Amino acid sequence: MTDRLQSVDRLLERREAISDLGDALRLLIEHATATEAPTEELRRAAERIRQAAGPLGERIRERTEVAAADDLLGGVRMYNPVIGRGSALAPPVHVESSNGVAVGTCTLGLAYEGPPMYAHGGVSAMLLDQMLGHAVTSSGKPGMTVQLDTAYRKPVPLMTALRLTAEVSQVEGRRVTAVGAIATAERPDEVLVTATGLFVALRAEQAQRLFGPVMRPRAS
Ligand SMILES: CCCCCCCC(=O)SCCNC(=O)CCNC(=O)[C@H](O)C(C)(C)COP(=O)(O)OP(=O)(O)OC[C@H]1O[C@@H](n2cnc3c(N)ncnc32)[C@H](O)[C@@H]1OP(=O)(O)O
């Protein structure tokens, strides 16, 4: 096997392990949120979790370093808080996007609760920001969100399969507008939350100023 194939294998294996750890953390968070276990059990669990966290903290990256398993240009972000399989915060949303249109699916557990039984409004905004971002990126003009307007028409139910949609609606020079919505998978035409986002493609000097350190090749 060539070195390149071996390193691709190692990368895939690492991503698989990161996803597995992410699944375990999400299970932990969901159980820790939903648990009505005895107080003593909570204390024991906290101790065990601290012990498990220790070795992971022995080698950590700086803010200016991209995760070794990520591929920025290829759009692989293992720890993105919406889509990242390795992120304990991410539902995670599964997204397909092309030509300025994005469709996503996810189910939100109790950890995302705002009003009882329903999602926190900030979580809905976060999901939609990400979805609009995918639509914009897939249109070939990636940018950063400079404005996000959300309208909450009906509450988003937890523990229910959701369908998220987004599409580019306008392109004006460096400014790209996209619109999106959250519905349940069962009733995709019944809109629960909508969002309109304005994205701005960065000028080269802006990209350099904001992302200079992570754009440099990794020292081996
Ligand atoms: C697939 C991956 C999906 C990822 C999805 C997640 C997306 C995100 O969440 S991004 C993170 C959140 N966003 C940010 O942190 C961005 C913070 N903002 C900034 O850093 C700056 O506003 C920046 C660099 C984007 C643009 O710089 P700024 O100096 O504001 O604007 P500038 O470059 O001069 O001009 C851009 C244009 O946008 C306009 N603009 C900027 N902000 C706004 C705004 N809030 N409303 C309306 N127009 C605006 C400007 O007026 C200008 O218009 P024109 O070209 O017609 O004169």
Beta strands 161-172 and 193-200 are unpaired
Distance CA 186, CA 78 (A): 29
pLDDT at 216: 74
- Tokens matching residue 148: 């996000």
In a domain, 127, yes or no: yes
Domain count, the chain: 1
Q: Is the pTM of this model over 0.80?
A: yes
How many Å lie between the centroid of ligand 1 and the Cα of residue 144?
6
Ligand 1 atom at minimum distance from 146 CA: 45
55 lies in a domain? no
Ligand 1 in contact with 130 (CB < 6 A)? yes
Q: Looking at residue 89, what is its pLDDT?
A: 97
In a domain, 82, yes or no: no
Q: Mean pLDDT, consecutive 10-residue segments, the chain of 220 residues?
A: 84 97 98 98 98 96 95 94 98 98 98 98 98 98 97 98 98 98 98 98 96 76
In a domain, 172, yes or no: yes
In a domain, 69, yes or no: no
Tell me the CATH number at 155. 3.10.129.10
Q: What ipTM was reported for this prediction?
A: 0.94
Cα–Cα–Cα angle for 82, 136, 81, rounded to 5 degrees: 10
Model pLDDT for residues 168-188, shown as the tens digit of each residue: 999 999 999 999 999 999 999
Confirm whether 1 is domain-assigned: no
- Among 144, 202, 210, the mutation site with the greatest number of ligand 1 atoms within 8 A of its Cβ is 144
CB 114 within 8 A of CB 123: yes
158 found inside a domain: yes
Domain extent, residue 100, equals 94-207
Compute the CA torsion angle 100, 67, 13, 162 (nearest 10 deg). Answer: -40
Among 1, 7, 53, 54, smallest CA distance to 218 is for 7
Alpha-carbon span 163 to 182, nearest angstrom: 6
Answer yes or no: is 26 within a domain: no
